[in-house]
């Protein structure tokens, strides 16, 4: 019987060790020598013009990055969460009306209902994936200024004209969407 050696598929570490990336790579670990741990406040104290920050990880780390970069422009931070924070409220709130500008109709959203579910009830299906405000699949154009944003995916400027319908609600009694 011949046993064929299995070749390991290239992983993330292999990709990071590639010549194009390796000179720019620094690893910081929570465990081990304290001197190699990341100092987010020092790292993010200055921002060169045009620099963008992309962050992904567990909730505590994400919040620490947000805190340390609070003085950066809101659109310079791009975050991708593993999961919505456990205290996130993605469904309940006050009832409101969705005003669909293109169709010229209004759709009521009950206190315990999401906008996606309310639209589904009247035959309008919004694509969804995570249903926690993380992925952006359900985002539509609309009056972002009138929305109570509960997502974790839109940037500050996107929130002015976009709404994640799986979780966000109206600030008041009505929310206008370009649907
Ligand atoms: S379905 Fe993922 S953000 Fe709404």
Kindly list the domain boundaries of the chain, sorted by start residue.
12-81, 96-177
How far apart, in whole angstroms, are the C-alpha atoms of residue 138 and residue 130? 9
pTM summary value: 0.75
- 3-class state of residue 82 by DSSP: coil
Two structure tokens written together for 143: 């009056």
Fold of 96-177: Ubiquitin-like (UB roll) (3.10.20)
Count CA atoms closer than 13 A to 9's CA, side-chain side. 2
The reply to whether ligand 1 has any atom less than 6 angstroms from the CB of 163 is no
Q: Tell me, what's the pLDDT at 2?
A: 56
Residue 62 DSSP SS3: helix
120 neighbors 142 (Cβ within 8 angstroms): no
The segments of the chain whose pLDDT lies below 70 read 1-8, 86-91
CA of 133, closest atom in ligand 1: 3
Classify domain 12-81 by CATH number: 3.40.50.80
Residue minimizing CA distance to atom 3 of ligand 1: 133
The maximal CA–CA distance of the chain, rounded, in angstroms, is: 73
């Amino acid at each position: 019987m011949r046993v064929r050696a299995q070749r390991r598929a290239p992983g993330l570490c292999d990709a990071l060790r590639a010549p194009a990336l390796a000179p720019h790579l620094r690893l910081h670990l929570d465990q081990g020598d304290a001197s190699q741990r990341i100092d987010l406040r020092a790292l993010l104290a200055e921002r060169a013009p045009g620099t963008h920050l992309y962050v992904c990880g567990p909730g505590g780390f994400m919040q620490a990055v947000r805190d340390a970069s609070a003085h950066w422009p809101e659109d310079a931070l791009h975050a991708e969460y593993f999961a919505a924070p456990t205290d996130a409220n993605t469904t309940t709130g006050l009832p409101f009306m969705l005003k669909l500008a293109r169709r010229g109709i209004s759709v009521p959203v009950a206190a315990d209902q999401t906008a996606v579910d309310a639209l589904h009830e009247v035959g309008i299906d919004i694509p969804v994936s995570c249903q926690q405000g993380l992925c952006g699949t359900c985002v539509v154009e609309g009056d972002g200024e009138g929305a109570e944003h509960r997502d974790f995916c839109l940037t500050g400027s996107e929130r002015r004209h976009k709404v994640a319908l799986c979780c966000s609600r109206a600030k008041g009694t009505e929310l206008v969407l370009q649907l």
